[in-house]
Structure 1
Amino acid sequence: MNRAMPSGACTPGRTGRSSRRTACAGLVAGLAAFWGASAGAAEAIAAPLPQVVAAQQATAGPRLVFFNDDPTAAVGDSIGLRILGMPSSWNEVTVTSPALRKPARLTPKSRGATDSAEVYGPGQMQWLRSDITPGTYTLTAAFHGRTVATTHVKVTAQADARIFRFTVWPQSARSGSRAMICFIDERAAPDEKSLVATSPAFHGAARLTTDGADDNSCPTADGSDTLYSGHVTLRSGLAAGSYQVKVVSHHGRNTSTQKITVPADARASRPGAGSRADSSDDGLLWAASGGAACLALVGVVAYTMRRRGGSATG
């Protein structure tokens, strides 16, 4: 704002110099006050009142948001969704997307609430499909068939596998016996709850699950690792030798192999072979041979007594 100062208003002259100085100072002070008041008024107009902000938020409409405000997830991972700002009379919103395995159903957190609940747990999270490519996907929230809100999820590639342990126990097992498999992945695919182990030595495939049934037998590196475990029966009549065991994970992107050995001596495959198991077998052999010797000794004694009796009567 440019204001021209009156000509000669602050120019000192030969007469009335003091009065002109006073007038000049007053004019400058007045202009400064005017400019300050104008700036303050402009700022007051530009700054919205709290009531205006609240009204704008109320009229903005429903919003579809993520738990923890995190719009990024890996292929096959889970996400949490909420709907905010719905009318108090709403009862259900359906969220659909090409990235979701199935539509998500959102309901009020309480009767008359305008927001849905933020609950972590089984059945509360929405899972992304495992067969989609990384990229950005639209999520659409609809109420009675009408779109009320949209948002986008950024889908990233799954991390590569990091196998911490893959063991078959016992490593040496006889034909027809049972074996246990432990498979631990530090970067397991989030949507893989079971795997399959195959081998020419197995009587069918072994299903490995994450239900924790064999946690004590298959210790993990830490609590964040994913443990897959299961049991399998070896085929009967296997020839002695080593057989490959294969586990495919991460939806076919990772293959891990291990070996199991079928020994030529079947007794060597039993836990504790050469100690308790062998001593029991040796005991049976000793009992059999000792029993035969006792029977032979009884026969000799009976024959001798008959000979002596015949001599006495003769």
Structure 2
Amino acid sequence: MNRTRTPVRTRTAIRRRTAAAAVLAAGALWLAGGAGPASADEGDGGDGGVHLLLNSAFDNRPGELVDIQVQGIRGHGDVTVSSPVFARPVRLAPDEDGHHGRPAIAMTTEPGTYPLKVRAGGRIVAEERVEVKPSERPSFSVTTPGQVLRPGERLWMAYDDLYPGETGRSFSVHSPAFRAPVRLTHDPSSTDWNNPRLFSGAAELPPGTRDGTYKVTLYGAGGRVVDEKPLVVRAARPGDRDYVGRARGPAFFDARAETGPEDARAHGHRVPAGGTVNVLWRDRSPDRGEEERLTATSPAFERPVRLRRDDSKAADGDDPRYFAPARIRRGLAPGSYEVTVASHHGRVTKVGKLQVTAGAAGASGRGDGDGGGPGASATTVAYVAGGTTAGVLAAAGLGALLRRRAAR
């Protein structure tokens, strides 16, 4: 699902629109041949082409920055900007585009609309207006209201304390849903450049995060708890718009060298007690990290079996598939036994039936694998090698050796 920023993004969008309006207004001034009561000819001997560009001239809070660019002033001398919103006149610095500055609106500024004047050579060469709105209390943002995150998803957090009296410089976020605490920092080159007290950071939820509501705690200097927010995590289920899995299985095939996943059957497969059977699982789009967690369980198995990705050429063009050999318990009573595989963080659980017959020495499907995954047993190694004649003979020779030992 798409990454969702904090509500600060909404305010940023407003600034972009208002900044665009400011640029358009400045464009109108260009067409008029300048701005303000004095012309560029009067101010600096130019051709009347003084251009004033304000970014973030509207919808400002006390403490936010106003980006000021003045173009078209020739000659040397100070270029200054004055306004009741600034604590003192601001001297602009020369740059390749003219003169530039980024002063902050004084924290004591009351809501209202204020004039802004540009002076060059002791004369006013351009004017604009700056709007200021009331201060806002500090806010900690984790998710938008009602948002649910998926395991493995990236989470953005922000703390905005642009408010009179706030002076903290170090903030961190802790949660049982995170691998480690997350430090929030200010990035002056971000899209929120005009807010000098916006601290942000990101955390990636581990792919195995369980469904639930987690507490996300913001800490300030000295371990002081600043704020807490809830975080809801839930894996995608079949029917959800962002669920992309298509799990199939479990299915079963013999642990003989001449058989493979293409021979697997979901129903009716028979294996003797004490024998070995390969468990197969397919999924078009597994969850992130799931390849290390897929496990098949059954009361018929000696132990749960970790399924491994089939990376052989035989799997080319197929949905991702996973299989591993499972040893059937010795002395198990004949009958039908359930085999369960859970995926997509437990939201997709499928059960297959395996027919266990009476055990017999040398029975089909018997192997010496340890249930460790493809390649763990001699028979599986023969399959991965492509089912070559040498592999089949090696498996047959191993079976004969075992029978001779059993006969002693």
Q: Which interval holds the TM-score relative to the shorter structure?
A: 0.3 to 0.5
TM-score, scaled to structure 1: 0.45
TM-score, scaled to structure 2: 0.37
